[in-house]
Structure 1
Amino acid sequence: MANDMMNRQNNDMFDVMNDWFDLPKNFFNDTDFVNMMKSDIVENDKDYIVKIDMPGMKKDKIKINYSDGILSVSGSRESLKNLDKKDDSVIHQERQEGHISRSFRLPNIVANKIHAKYDDGVLTITLPKQTADSNDSSIQID
């Protein structure tokens, strides 16, 4: 009943127009699933730290790759597939299943020293930067 009251108050022309103009954005962008991988990247003198929200993912379904200066992170999630009883039916579902991925350009990384940790739905990846010592390919002449 409270929702009916709110809907009556929101039926003015501007709300209808806003809904209409939002239609292409909402129709073509599945924002709920895309927003699952919100990311932060922090840089300091020694490394980059990438934090990615990946709620509901199992650790073994997350893949991380670093190649040619590109960090790629992907994951997949299954939704409500196995119901407890055959008579059960889903009456409302918002959690989605599928595969998502993101890539970030982070050059000059020591690839064999990358470290990742997944805790409480947040993936934290530490990418150590190359130093002058590790990047030095000059040869001394005796």
Structure 2
Amino acid sequence: MFDLIPFRKRNEELFGHMLKSFNEVFEQNGLFTLGEGFNSFRTDIMEKENAYYVEAELPGFAKEDISIEYENNQLTIKAKRELLTEEKDKNEKVIRQERHFGEFLRRFYVEDIKDDEIMAKLEDGILKIEIPKRSPGKPGRNKIEIH
């Protein structure tokens, strides 16, 4: 019926949970990682002999809303959504208005690739990226165009 946990104990548990979540975000090599509670998206990564293949689920995004960059062995995929839905009745009174704003981000560590030959295309809500491999060398920097 009622929550019998004392108020102070409840606050301590909440603070502990928040601290744990904060620490999890920065655990892996000091890099920001996105878990279930963050704006992330599903990806599949496959490795073949000559290339890596990334497929990211980004339904409802146009290619203009997505940016892909490669810098310091980090492949970054960022998608930004700004959507405003407004419904009015016959007297032009707003009866419903919804806003959806968000930024979705994933980063992957990838080395020894031909960064100037990365290919990306968006098809039916799936972003497909082909990342050709090269022999080991120095990291590059490149902005990838989506076709």
TM-score band, normalised by shorter chain: 0.5 to 0.7
- Give yes or no for the alignment of 1:83 onto 2:80: no
Residue 61 of structure 1: CA displacement? 1.0
**Could you tell me whether the CA contact under 8 Å between 1:33 and 1:96 is conserved in 2?**
no
Matches within 5 A, 1:84-123: 85=88, 86-90=92-96, 96-123=100-127
**Could you tell me whether the CA contact under 8 Å between 2:53 and 2:131 is conserved in 1?**
yes
Q: 2:78 aligns with which of 63, 74, 96?
A: 74
**Could you tell me whether the CA contact under 8 Å between 1:110 and 1:130 is conserved in 2?**
yes
Change beyond 3 A, Cα 1:120–1:67: same
- Give yes or no for the alignment of 1:48 onto 2:52: yes
**Which runs of 5 or more residues in structure 2 are unaligned?**
2-16, 22-33, 138-147
Amino acid across the alignment from 1:90: R
Task: Give the alignment's Cα RMSD to 1 decimal.
Answer: 3.3
In structure 2, how many angstroms separate the alpha carbons of the residues matched to 1:59 and 1:89?
Answer: 32
- Give yes or no for the alignment of 1:64 onto 2:77: no
Partner of 1:14 in structure 2? Answer: none
Partner of 1:140 in structure 2? Answer: none
Q: Identity percentage over the alignment?
A: 29
Partner of 1:7 in structure 2? Answer: none
In structure 1, how many angstroms separate the alpha carbons of the residues matched to 2:86 and 2:38?
Answer: 22
More helix per residue: 1 or 2? 1
Residue 88 of structure 1: CA displacement? 3.4
Bigger Rg over Cα: 1
**Which runs of 5 or more residues in structure 1 are unaligned?**
1-10, 12-23, 136-142
Change beyond 3 A, Cα 1:32–1:78: farther
Change beyond 3 A, Cα 1:33–1:122: farther
The number of residues matched between the two structures is: 110
Q: Stretches of 4+ moved more than 4 A in 1?
A: 28-33
TM-score (norm 2): 0.60
